[in-house]
Amino acid sequence: MIRNYLHIAWRSLKKDSLFAFIKIGGFAIGIAACLLITLFINDELSYDKHYADSERTYRVISEIPINGEVLKNVYFQLPLADVLESDFPEVEKAGKYNSSELFGAGKKTIQPYGETKSVIEDGFVFVSQPMLEILELPFVEGQPENALTDPLSLVISKKKADKLFPKGDALGKTVILDYDTANPYKITGVVDRSSIKSHFDYDYLMHLRDTNFNWVNTNYITYIKVQKNTDIDALKTKMLSVVDKYIIPELNQNEMTKKFVDLYKQAKFDLQPISDIHLKTESKIFDNLKHGDIRFVWLFAAIACFVLLLASINFINLSTAKSANRAKEVGLRKTIGAFRKNLVFQFLTESILLSFISFVLGILLAWAILPWFNTIALKSIGIPWSSPLFYLIALVTALLIGIVAGLYPAFYLSSFKPAKVLKGSLTTGSKNKNLRGGLVVFQFAISIILIIGTLIIYKQMDYILNKELGYNKEQVLVVQGAGVLGDKVDSFKKQLLELPMVSNVSVSDYLPVEGTKRNGNTFKKIDDPTEAVGVPGQVWAIDHDYVKTLGLEITLGRDFSIDRPSDATDAVLINQKMALELELENPIGKRITNGDDWVVVGVVKDFHFASLRDNIAPLALVISNSPDMISVRIGTSDLNESIAAISEIWGRNVGNQAFNYTFLDDDFAKMHDDVRRMGNIFNGFALFAILVACLGLFALSAFMVEQRQKEISIRLVLGAPFKSIYKLLTVDFLRLILIAVVIAIPVGWFAMQRWLEDFAYRISLDWTIFLLAGAIALAVALVTISYQSVSAALIQPLKSLRNE
């Protein structure tokens, strides 16, 4: 019996190959999209799942109210971890790390001992010994219990160990960091992170020296592991004793810091579960880590559900749309004794067969798309071919979807009355006009929302990448690892300036892009009579050519001058935001302090030096030494020639050390890679959903033509022109699309307004975006419907009316 069902099902598919292709293709696209989204979501949810005691491991966060807002921060004083472990019996273990470039983390040159070449590597971080045990890093060489006890110890990832020591056995080897031959580091551990997903994504873990041991400077991120059955809310309240016992007494010892006492009296502690760090860290918490976003996970899950739902709806509509073609088959089979249950099983068999074929094609389609998807998502996701669970889930899902999607067509088709069918008086589907109209509105409302999202994400990214930043990022080559030049840096700079294509050169590690140094300070006006708390801001060490090289604009006063020796000792340039926050109406000549006293000689127009998610912060620029990066402004369009010339000068000065460089505009674009990446993923999945919706519209238009074929034939016989037939078949659908537009626009506006709230600098949602989205949806619908409408208008009336 099953063999007969399969034979009939296969014959039916071959008989109407176009609709079979659309049925299978629509399902396959939906399944591919769902599989990719499921793999993406599974990857995002798999972070920090390897801990044996994840429910007892937390990151410490402070909450301090400032100017009506609650400032959440993960940076604490160096002693905090030790005090939490010693003073609180609830805390089993506490550790800390420092990832600040200012303290020597971030990028470094590394050179295996005895070799002549060094390479620049990112991912260096200072880590206390207890952190290795708290994070449960998978050591393949060395022991986590003592890997970072020595001040010159270094734990590296297996990926980097294989790169630096391709012959293996990295444990015990010695490396030179930043050309400091007097203090070589010994590799005391190798960690293989390929088997885990962790928010803590650093390749080089250095011993954290206990320097700057005070309760004022906050530069260390702190983790704790608590005892079993600890009351976390009670512990957070109890931790406030640290403020009264340690922090406030030390703040009161200094006139500059005692202004913060009132703020710390309002402070609270929060403990963030380690499993929440990757996906649930608020965007305003800066921790120098790469995060996912739980909102995108839910959004993509919703898209997956919608795509699968639309694909199933399309399958049902395509089955019922061609019901008239199967009506006589049903009538004849009932006449010769077939029971309704036999027909139901027949059509369910067809549905399940289609579902299995679609699943196979969908999985293969997802496998083919996966390399592209991994590229834009920066993932290394793979189809789990070796997992029996994967095949079991695919098999069961294909069976369930085949049954669910085939139930309505099976019972609908098997309900035909033989007498009506064989007399040709059957009217298919006339009672479900409202349902079909609702499906059109639903499908295209979803599609229009996705189109709105796609357009706004594109416009926001274009706005970010092309916004006036306050500096000129174009054609600035940044030489990395320039610390190898040592005392040759000034000579190297002069040699570069002799090149005809080089207009300016500046030596500074502080650049307006991520991955360069930052130095947070607090500033006050000297002799400020008020009790105001100082202004938090940045202080950057630059040289005399920094302003000209980056194209900054001096709005008041002057730039630094090499002819004024005092500029190198007590002069400062501040940005407009700093002047505003310090309430300096006439800033030139005013004196400010961050512990050191400075005279303001100029005001720089505000420029962006962080992500456009954040407002421009107060900034001070001072003359000082920071020589690991050199910015070179190139005044020619022939970049290859310029790079070759600069590289040649580099080689003359440093011998066989590799020439590493980036371009400032590329570094700026990388600051927003996470947004662009999620936008590209969203757009890809949106395209899947829109395509499936169009197939649904094709199904419904086919359904409509099937119903009105005799009406159209009669109109043609009576002389109706093509235009009137086309209008008859399209107007109703376009009316439904307009309803979908009206429903989708407010939903899309609300959703994208919420998304844009993450950006301090963003586009405005003007009506043209929504008009364009509606126009695109109408155009897509019109093209989709037109195929069926034109086909219907060109039918031969005799074929439709010969049974009348």
Q: For 730-780, how does the pLDDT look when each residue is reduced to its tens digit (9 = 90+)?
A: 787 788 888 988 999 999 898 888 888 878 788 888 888 888 888 888 887
User: Are 573 and 641 members of one domain?
Assistant: yes
Which residue is it, tokens 């034939």?
713
Give the end of a domain, one of 669, 686, 717: 669
Is 524 part of a structural domain of the chain? yes
Q: Rounded to an integer, what distance in angstroms lies between the CA atom of residue 636 and that of residue 249?
A: 58
Indicate whether 456 pLDDT > 80: yes
Indicate whether 429 pLDDT > 60: no
User: Are 527 and 586 members of one domain?
Assistant: yes
Torsion of CA 440, 443, 449, 453, to 10 degrees: -140
pLDDT band of 126, cuts 50, 70, 90: very high
Query: Where do the H-state alpha helices sit in 551-590?
Result: 567-570, 576-581
Which residue range(s) make up the domain with 680? 294-362+386-463+673-801
What does the pLDDT read at residue 692? 78
Is 336 part of a structural domain of the chain? yes
Is 25 part of a structural domain of the chain? no
Sequence-distant (≥ 6) Cβ neighbours of residue 392 within 8 angstroms? none
Is 64 part of a structural domain of the chain? yes
Give the number of residues written for the chain. Answer: 804
Q: Rounded to an integer, what distance in angstroms lies between the CA atom of residue 152 and that of residue 107?
A: 17
pLDDT band of 528, cuts 50, 70, 90: low
Sequence-distant (≥ 6) Cβ neighbours of residue 489 within 8 angstroms? 482, 507, 627, 630
Is 23 part of a structural domain of the chain? no
User: Are 358 and 429 members of one domain?
Assistant: yes
pLDDT band of 417, cuts 50, 70, 90: low
User: Are 204 and 108 members of one domain?
Assistant: yes
Total domain count for the chain? 3
What does the pLDDT read at residue 502? 93
pLDDT above 70 covers a percentage of the chain that reads 85
CA distances 408 to 23, 218, 402, 414, 734, Å, are: 15, 64, 11, 10, 27
Torsion of CA 735, 738, 739, 745, to 10 degrees: 180
The DSSP bridge partners found for residue 69 are 66
Residue 157: phi and psi, rounded to 5, are -75, 155
Residue 110 in contact with residue 187, Cβ under 8 Å?
no
Indicate whether 803 pLDDT > 60: no
pLDDT above 90 covers a percentage of the chain that reads 29
User: Are 455 and 487 members of one domain?
Assistant: no
Residue 525 in contact with residue 256, Cβ under 8 Å?
no
pLDDT digits (tens, 9 = 90+) for 635-671: 877 888 899 999 999 989 987 778 889 999 888 888 8
Residue 785 in contact with residue 704, Cβ under 8 Å?
no
Residue 541: phi and psi, rounded to 5, are -90, 120
User: Are 480 and 394 members of one domain?
Assistant: no
Residue 517 in contact with residue 102, Cβ under 8 Å?
yes
What does the pLDDT read at residue 1? 55
Phi-psi region of 533 (alpha: psi -120 to 50; beta: other; left: phi over 0): beta
Is 625 part of a structural domain of the chain? yes
User: Are 637 and 705 members of one domain?
Assistant: no
Indicate whether 6 pLDDT > 50: yes
Is 371 part of a structural domain of the chain? no
Residue among 534, 525, 506, 515 at smallest CA distance from 624: 506
Amino acid at 588: I
Torsion of CA 603, 604, 610, 614, to 10 degrees: 60
Residue 37 in contact with residue 688, Cβ under 8 Å?
no
User: Are 609 and 487 members of one domain?
Assistant: yes
Residue among 787, 793, 785 at smallest CA distance from 701: 785
What is the chain's mean pLDDT, rounded? 83
pLDDT digits (tens, 9 = 90+) for 50-63: 888 889 999 999 98
Give the end of a domain, one of 280, 304, 336: 280
User: Are 458 and 427 members of one domain?
Assistant: yes
Q: Rounded to an integer, what distance in angstroms lies between the CA atom of residue 447 and that of residue 331?
A: 39
The distance in angstroms from the start CA to the end CA of the chain is 36
Is 18 part of a structural domain of the chain? no
What the block records as the tokens of 307 is 């795509």
Q: Rounded to an integer, what distance in angstroms lies between the CA atom of residue 456 and that of residue 248?
A: 47
The model's pTM is: 0.79
User: Are 207 and 61 members of one domain?
Assistant: yes
User: Are 592 and 494 members of one domain?
Assistant: yes
User: Are 577 and 537 members of one domain?
Assistant: yes
When pLDDT is averaged across residues 392-419 and rounded to a whole number, the result is 75
What does the pLDDT read at residue 774? 85
Q: Rounded to an integer, what distance in angstroms lies between the CA atom of residue 789 and that of residue 732?
A: 12
Q: Rounded to an integer, what distance in angstroms lies between the CA atom of residue 546 and that of residue 538?
A: 16
Residue 601 in contact with residue 544, Cβ under 8 Å?
no
Give the end of a domain, one of 247, 280, 313: 280
Residue 675 in contact with residue 136, Cβ under 8 Å?
no
pLDDT digits (tens, 9 = 90+) for 601-623: 999 999 998 888 788 999 999 99
